Each structure stands twice: as structure tokens, then as C-alpha cells.
Structure 1
């Protein structure tokens, strides 16, 4: 299922047929060649207080540092289209530090691209718990929910996403798609309108507005 027109993106080895439009509308990532750009939102200093209260002595400073290195290599490999190698690096990072958000998010994207949506949802859920004010994990999880016909859960995530960032055109557009699927044309129309106001060249939102406004 694609949010807009669905294309295929060849990635490394078995990770093929990635729905570009489906991911692009909700992740705000440059997806050509399965690229990843997570920015700084998963940094250690942004971890919530709940994470800081984990039992002492369970994760050493060296382990955290090593995990960050594996995560960084994973992101670089994913940008290069070496998706299986990237997955291995993310796995190593999380074995050392289960709280490494870039590794969770990056691994989730790889699972999502491979249509392993339950695994993707688990990683995005963990990432969301560690960075609750960030839109990206919510949008990504909503994409996987939609892919497995769990539109109500997707709608809940997208409601939260637009509250976290009312200026996210991607969140509003995805919310429009989701509520249109649920048959709530009023919410879909409002969502598409907000997306179009934020991103006037969003043809998917424009089409959605026309479909739900009649």
C-alpha cells in the first residue's frame, strides 16, 4: 500500500521494492538509494529522564561509546545502500546499548523497507519511548501500521505527531491519508488542508483535498 504513487527503490541484496512515496511522505528523509539522515534528535543528551534512571552499572561508558560508533557506521552503510551490513551494525550497537535511538530508528527503517512491519513497529516504539517529543518515530510507526491495515493505531500516532509538531506537513498529509482510509472525510479534509498550507506544492495533499471536500 502506498500513500501516494508507489515506486520501487532497489536497495542492497534482499532489501528491494521499497515504497518510496510511502516512506518519503512520513519520514522527511532523502530516500534515494535507501539513504538515512537522522540528524541530532537521537543524541544522548536528548534522552528523557526515565532513561537516565536505568540501573547503574548495566551499561558502561565504553559500551555506550562503542555503540555510538556502530550506529554511525550503520547510518553510513545505509546511506551507501549497503543495507544488510547496516543492519548488522545497528544490531551490534543495540547489543551494547539498547537505548541507542539512531540504531533503533535506523534498524526500524530497514525492517520497514523489508516489510517486516512488526519488527519495525517494535523498534519505532522503543525509539518513541526514548524521544517522546520527536515526530519521526511516530510517523514511521504509522507507516508500518498502515501497511498492515491497522489504520486506527496509525491515526492515533499521527494525532500525536501533529500535536508534537503542528508544522509538519508530512504528518498532516499522512494523517489525511489515514482518516480518509477510516472513512472520516472531515478529519481527512482538514489534515490535507493543513498539509497544503504548509507545503503548497504537495500534490498528494491537493488530490486528497479534492477527494474529501466534495
Structure 2
């Protein structure tokens, strides 16, 4: 490559990096394509083209870019990490873990790869491995409140509720306004039959985010467990206002078993089912803890390469 071409390549790399870091992924993609037109062996361009495509939800094309990078540089951790992200986005979690395994082998200090690997393991119900994964991550980055949260998720799946609570305590001590950690903390306190503290935790979650159907549902379940049918129905109605399908969840949730037939809940049932297009079925994952499954989408800018 001539000196002028090298200089032009450096300019395009700088422009692409700036556009990528600003979230202008389509414009960045155009720059990466120009770089590859000039030199199709530019590993960095293939990798960051893949990340830009991933941000644009063009997952098959993103995978093709990462594959090209791996062929050119099989020991480049970011390419394997990118492949892992794509597979996770496509819900192909076994393949995601295999690629993220390779990423952390090549770069054990990539905390985002460890984070994404842990999430994929949770999706596969490989909770002990997920726990070990987040422990490794937290050794490297102890201030990652999201890792503490996900560690709690793995512990809860292993029925280690007190340990999960401890992890959530750490998460909210790092980020006080992490509303979903406060909500999950309330659920763990319910498991431990510490209802007063659970209510406080749900209230804290609601302080940081409203509307907040997860916290309303958890608070209603706590009140129901204490036999407070009218109060539980009133709180659950707030969740139903934005997510009417939660009524179906409440019908099968043991937390509500002692209050579901009370007058307050019968009135709630009438209101809820009138707004449901299919009152016999639950919208899948309507109150799933989406924050738990959020991926870390690779480097912050193309200049991280």
C-alpha cells in the first residue's frame, strides 16, 4: 500500500471510529466498507464492521464480517467476542458460549466478554457455571453492579436466596438507583419470608422508576402472602393497567393462592379480563427481568481495537 493510501486508510479509520462511538452505525458502516474496498485484509475494519452491523440488527451480515476477521486473525479475541454476541442475539446460546469461551481464553481481561458469557450460561440454565463466570468477572471488576445482579440471578436459580440477597445488596450499594436490583431484592426477601423488608425494597424500586410493573407485581405478591387481599388487589391493579396479562400470572402464582377468590380479586379479574385479547393465555415473558439479559455490545468505539 502506497504512503498516500496508508494515510487515507488512517483518515477513514479515524472517521469510522468517531462515527461508531457517536452511535452513527450506518455512517460508520459506510466507512468500514470503503476501508475493505481498499484492503480486504484489514482485520480491524472487518471486526468493527461486524459490530456496526450488529448494532443495526443485521446479524447474519455481522456474523459474516466476524467470520472474515477470524479467518484472517484466528487469535483476535474481539472477533470471537463479536461472534458470541451475534449468536446470543439470535438466541443460539450454545454457540454463543463456545465463541465467548474462545474470546476469554484469548483475552482474559475482557470483562464484557465475561459478562456476555455469563448471561448466555444463565439462558442455558447452566447456573453454577454462570456463578463461577461472574465471580471471575467480579475479581477483575468488583464495581460492576450488573455483574452482581446477574450473580444474584444465578444464585437464586440455585435456591441460594440469602447469598443472592447479599449480591443484590452489593449491587444497590454501588448503584443506588438500580431499580431492577431493588425489585429482585424484594423477591429474594419474599423467598426468605422477610415481608416487611421486601415491601421496603419494592417501594425503593418504585421510587426510582414508575410505571414499574415488576415492582408493583412483587409488592402485590408480598401483600397477598400476608393475607392483605384488598391492598394486594389495589397494587396489582397498577401493574394490570399497563400489563393486563399479569392477571393470568397472578392466577397461577402461589403467592396469591389465599386471596385470589376474595371479592377484591374477583373485581380485579373482571377489569383485567375485559382488556385482554386472550384472557386464557399469557404473553410470554411479559414481566421477564429484561435487564438481566441485556448484552454488553462489544467495545465502546472502534479505536478500542
Q: Which of the five TM-score ranges fits, normalised by the shorter chain? A: 0.5 to 0.7
Q: When the two structures are superposed, what TM-score results if normalisation uses the length of structure 1?
A: 0.67
Shift of 1:113: 1.3
SS in 2 for 1:127: helix
What is the number of residues matched between the two proteins? Answer: 155
Q: When the two structures are superposed, what TM-score results if normalisation uses the length of structure 2?
A: 0.48
In the TM superposition, 1:1-214 aligns within 5 A as 66-213=42-189, 214=194
Consecutive aligned runs of 4 or more in structure 1 exceeding 3 Å deviation: none
| Aligned counterparts of 2:99 and 2:154: Cα–Cα separation in 1 | 21
Which gives a bigger RCO, structure 1 or 2 (Cα 8 Å, sep 6+)? 1
Runs (5+) with no aligned partner, structure 2: 1-22, 27-38, 195-305
Runs (5+) with no aligned partner, structure 1: 1-31, 36-61
Q: Is the 8 A contact 1:138 1:157 kept in 2?
A: yes
Shift of 1:98: 1.1
CA RMSD of the aligned region, Å? 2.2
| Aligned counterparts of 1:202 and 1:139: Cα–Cα separation in 2 | 18
Shift of 1:166: 0.5
> Deviation digits for residues 142-187 of structure 1, max 9, x if unmatched?
1111111111110110111111111001100100111011111121
| Aligned counterparts of 1:151 and 1:174: Cα–Cα separation in 2 | 10
Q: Which has the higher helix share?
A: 2
